Chain A
């Protein structure tokens, strides 16, 4: 049996996207984190969601748990939130995938639902553990809106390159 290249490309792409999130947030902190709004870059989630639709990944849940744990260890230092949320998002995406045939608009809408859900649940956990006391209204206008807009833009730019890479290497 021929081994497809996605076996190696998927984890590499996942980790590159993961570290790009941190680097971009640092380099463009002036525009990402202002007084009135903040943007959470989630490129690695884009990679995972695209992987559901366009790549034949062998152990998607293993990678989802790994990247979630990495996020908690390396970025926040609070183990747990992403470790739970990323596999959950992956599960929901797979459920939604079974109802649709993938097209640009369908993937976009599912990705936006995923981002909104992840941002909301992550906010809720942080309220619980006392890392923020922001009200829900301010959260929606200050974080959820800009985050959705940024990730939408990232999706539109990266959809075709990632799709062709994944489909090409899945054969």
Chain B
């Protein structure tokens, strides 16, 4: 009798292990090629997202009080600093408007209706962050009903933060650019140098120094520290011209052939409340 129970327990454990590993393998393989998660999974996630809103509201209310007090203490210094910037901003804004108008007129003349820089934006707030060191994921409050699609670029008010990996009806998951996931889709980026532009890919992320690594660089133009990096719009997922960050270091890659560039991300990946999903229009 004892023997029988031992076997039964062992079988349960083994079956659970096998089912578990099959599920892991399955979800890893379909993660990058499916268009949306299955209906049942979507339903579960939507229900969970709904409850999460109720729970996260008081937490964010308390958090907001804390940050408001913090902001209040810095207000005076910040005000002085900002006053200096405001004057120059007004003139920049006016010239920007003029250039935008000119751009639209020129596009009309060329009969260019849609270019790489055009995108529709969907604004969402962040519901939760995966409580895990290995998945750098956020859950945001908009899904396929609002027009979010898989693989679209996501930005904060400062710059690029990540990519949509899973879309449910009313919420979706974002993989941050700080991910170390081997199979994550990479962003095509351009370094704006003084004598042109250099194309490449974001290939990895160094979590110790908080730097993005850009590789696969196509030319040897003179890049220098402080050059700005934007998305290039190549590869079809992200629109062109989303600010990624600034160059901090340029060196040869591990084989000494091409350059490897370290980029300081513009967006603060640990302080995100409102994010924008950029949907390419062409």
A residues lining the B interface (CB < 8 Å): 15-16, 19-30, 32-36, 38, 40-42, 70, 72-81, 83-84, 87, 122-123, 125-126, 129-134, 142-143
Contacts of A143 in B (CB 8 A): 133
Contacts of A130 in B (CB 8 A): 181-183
Report how far A26 CA is from B59 CA in the complex, Å: 10
Contact A16 B55 (CB under 8 A): yes
Contacts of A19 in B (CB 8 A): 48, 51-52, 55-56, 128
Given contacts A26-B126, A75-B139, A77-B27, contact A84 B56 (CB under 8 A): no
Contact B23 A26 (CB under 8 A): no
Report how far A64 CA is from B44 CA in the complex, Å: 16
Name A15's closest neighbour in chain B (CB-CB).
B51
List 7 A-B residue pairs with CB atoms under 8 Å apart, sorted by A's residue number: A27-B59, A40-B133, A80-B23, A87-B16, A126-B135, A131-B134, A143-B133
Contact B137 A35 (CB under 8 A): no
Given contacts A41-B131, A76-B130, contact A22 B139 (CB under 8 A): yes
Contacts of B270 in A (CB 8 A): 29-30, 32-34
Residue B173, interface by CB 8 Å:
yes
Residue B110, interface by CB 8 Å:
no
Contact A21 B24 (CB under 8 A): no
Q: How many residues of B contact A (CB 8 A)?
A: 53
Interface stretch, picked from B89-97, B191-199, B204-212, is B204-212
- CB < 8 Å: which of A28, A78, A84, A134 contacts B16? A84
Given A74-B52, A76-B135; 5 other pairs, CB 8 A cutoff: A77-B137, A80-B21, A84-B20, A126-B135, A132-B133
Given contacts A21-B131, A35-B207, A131-B180, contact A78 B56 (CB under 8 A): no
Residue B31, interface by CB 8 Å:
yes
Contacts of B182 in A (CB 8 A): 130-131, 133
Separation in Å of the A138 CB from the closest CB of chain B?
Answer: 9
Contacts of A32 in B (CB 8 A): 270
Report how far A40 CA is from B129 CA in the complex, Å: 11
Contact B59 A25 (CB under 8 A): no
B residues lining the A interface (CB < 8 Å): 16-17, 20-24, 26-28, 31, 37, 41, 44-45, 48-49, 51-52, 55-56, 59-60, 63, 126-139, 165-166, 173, 180-183, 207-210, 269-272
Best-surrounded residue of A77, A80, A126, A129 (most CB of chain B within 10 A): A77
Contact A126 B27 (CB under 8 A): no
Separation in Å of the B182 CB from the closest CB of chain A?
Answer: 4
Report how far A143 CA is from B127 CA in the complex, Å: 23
Contact B137 A126 (CB under 8 A): no
Contacts of A30 in B (CB 8 A): 270-271
Contact A29 B31 (CB under 8 A): no
- CB < 8 Å: which of A20, A35, A132 contacts B59? A20
Contact A23 B45 (CB under 8 A): no
Contacts of A81 in B (CB 8 A): 20, 24
Report how far A80 CA is from B29 CA in the complex, Å: 13
Separation in Å of the A136 CB from the closest CB of chain B?
Answer: 14
Contact A125 B24 (CB under 8 A): yes
Name B55's closest neighbour in chain A (CB-CB).
A19
Given contacts A23-B59, A73-B44, contact A78 B24 (CB under 8 A): yes
Leading 10 A-B pairs by shortest Cβ distance:
A22-B128, A80-B24, A84-B20, A19-B55, A80-B23, A38-B133, A23-B56, A26-B129, A29-B270, A126-B134
Contact B210 A23 (CB under 8 A): no
Name A144's closest neighbour in chain B (CB-CB).
B133
- CB < 8 Å: which of A22, A87, A125 contacts B56? A22
Contacts of A79 in B (CB 8 A): 23-24, 26-27
Contact B59 A74 (CB under 8 A): no
Contact B128 A25 (CB under 8 A): yes
Report how far A42 CA is from B132 CA in the complex, Å: 9
Contacts of A83 in B (CB 8 A): 20, 23
